[in-house]
């Protein structure tokens, strides 16, 4: 039995290692165009020099090979689901089972000027460009606009960057020269694409007031220029530095594979077992999964977050189910995306908010947001733990 995993960050790395751990006789192959594992949550610190990219990344090929997973350093171009063959730029790869864990493609063309004039911190290159831009900004400070565009889902990282920027401005002794704006399609502060948490809106309003941050909710971005951001409500905000989180869509591999029957946004339709709804030997994990919102976004559309913890969990569930199917079992493990526990630590500039809930989406039995205004100790600890766990291939750990 042979499983091919496309993509090798949170979901893909977990799925590949878990399949091999559970069944040593199972042949597992990972295809990825990058040999590096990147701890994406810590990219928010790179623009401020608190982390270098090398601090939060490492080669994964040696780890995979040590655990018995074959790594192919190649770009997956498309898949023929009838012939069970993945086409790559280094030749075809056959499979019995396929796991799509490709992560996202960023839709920079969501509005005119976003690609040209707004910074993005979700890639190493983007984070380093943002660092350079902030150094230039110091020489001639002015208004800053930070936020998320319409259809975005990764609001949490933008909030983190906002509060880290506010702290950085104080450290550079230029805070009084900067009007700091937060713009978001969320219906209220702290919605996060999960319909919020108890006390979350009040807490974030308090933060905004405490740090003197102007905010606009239920707004989209119509246009970004070199010195302004035009919002969907007609307001034009002057901006000498802009950072926006655009929406995510499916990667080219998915878009170029009509057999995957992806959604218009390029995500894989799966059941609660992360098995394709109509192709029994195709699975998806992480950001590649289609997630249906259980709520109405409001005047401006936005998406659900697809963070590291659900990616890790869905990778484990897909792996377990592939093993069960390969052994002829019919009962599969099921856990809907919205039933996965919410577990997140939001950095707030050497402060943090610990977010915990039993379900990502409502209804929930419990949900809590705990602010820690002394130091972001738990955020740093989680980073160290996850890097250690992954470097050692301990995929079974939470």
pLDDT (0 to 100) of residue 293: 87
Examine the pLDDT at 374 and tell me if it is beyond 90. no
pLDDT tens string 276-296: 999 999 999 999 999 988 888
Examine the pLDDT at 350 and tell me if it is beyond 90. no
pLDDT mean across residues, the chain? 96
Q: How many C-beta atoms lie closer than 10 Å to residue 24's C-beta?
A: 8
Segment 170-186 shows an average pLDDT of: 98
Instruction: With cut-offs at 50, 70 and 90, classify the pLDDT of residue 246.
Output: very high
* Domains parsed from the chain with CATH numbers: 2-105+248-337 (3.50.50.60), 108-246 (3.50.50.60)
**Is the previous residue joined to 363 through a cis bond, with omega within 30 degrees of 0?**
yes
Q: How many C-beta atoms lie closer than 10 Å to residue 343's C-beta?
A: 18
Residues 6+ apart with CB under 8 A from 209: none
Structure tokens at 106: 């960023």
pLDDT (0 to 100) of residue 55: 97
| Alpha-carbon Rg for the chain in angstroms | 21
pLDDT tens string 195-243: 998 889 999 999 999 999 999 999 999 999 999 999 999 999 999 999 9
Alpha carbons 311 and 318: distance in angstroms, whole number: 11
Alpha carbons 38 and 261: distance in angstroms, whole number: 29
pLDDT tens string 52-69: 999 999 999 999 999 999
What does pTM read for this prediction? 0.95
Residue 75 to residues 57, 91, 123, 244, 313, Cα–Cα distance (Å): 19, 10, 18, 28, 25
Element counts in the chain: helices (H) and strands (E): 9, 22
């Amino acid at each position: 039995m042979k499983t091919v995993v496309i993509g090798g960050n949170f979901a893909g790395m977990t799925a590949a290692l878990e399949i091999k751990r559970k069944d040593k006789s199972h042949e597992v192959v990972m295809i990825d165009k990058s040999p590096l594992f990147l701890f994406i949550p810590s990219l928010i610190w790179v623009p401020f020099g608190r982390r270098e990219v090398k601090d939060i990344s490492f080669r994964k090929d040696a780890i995979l090979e040590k655990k018995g997973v074959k790594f192919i350093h190649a770009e997956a171009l498309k898949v023929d689901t009838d012939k069970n063959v993945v086409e790559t730029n280094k030749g075809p790869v056959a499979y019995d089972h396929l796991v799509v864990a490709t992560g996202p493609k960023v839709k920079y063309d969501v509005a005119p000027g976003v690609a040209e004039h707004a910074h993005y911190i979700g890639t190493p290159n983007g984070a380093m460009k943002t660092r350079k831009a902030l150094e230039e900004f110091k020489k001639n400070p002015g208004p800053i606009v930070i936020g998320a565009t319409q259809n975005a889902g990764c609001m949490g990282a933008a909030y983190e960057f906002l509060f880290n920027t506010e702290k950085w401005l104080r450290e550079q002794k230029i805070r009084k020269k900067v009007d700091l704006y937060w713009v978001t399609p969320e219906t209220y502060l702290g919605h996060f694409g999960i319909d919020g948490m108890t006390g979350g809106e009040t807490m974030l309003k308090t933060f905004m007031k405490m740090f003197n941050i102007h905010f606009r909710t239920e707004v989209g971005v119509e246009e970004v220029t070199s010195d302004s951001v035009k919002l969907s409500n007609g307001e034009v905000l002057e901006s000498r530095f802009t950072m926006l989180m655009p929406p995510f869509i499916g990667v080219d591999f998915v878009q170029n594979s009509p057999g995957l029957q992806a959604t218009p946004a390029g995500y894989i339709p799966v059941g609660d077992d992360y098995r394709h709804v109509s192709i029994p030997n195709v699975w998806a994990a992480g950001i590649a999964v289609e997630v249906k919102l259980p709520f109405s976004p409001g005047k401006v559309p936005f998406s659900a977050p697809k963070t590291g913890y659900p990616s890790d969990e869905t990778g484990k569930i897909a792996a377990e189910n592939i093993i069960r199917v390969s052994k002829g079992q019919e009962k599969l493990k099921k856990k809907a995306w919205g039933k996965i526990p919410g577990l997140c630590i939001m950095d707030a500039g050497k402060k943090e908010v610990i977010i915990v809930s039993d379900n990502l989406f409502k209804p929930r039995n419990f949900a809590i947001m705990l602010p820690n205004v002394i130091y972001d100790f738990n955020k740093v600890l989680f980073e160290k733990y996850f890097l250690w766990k992954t470097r050692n291939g301990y995929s079974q750990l939470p």
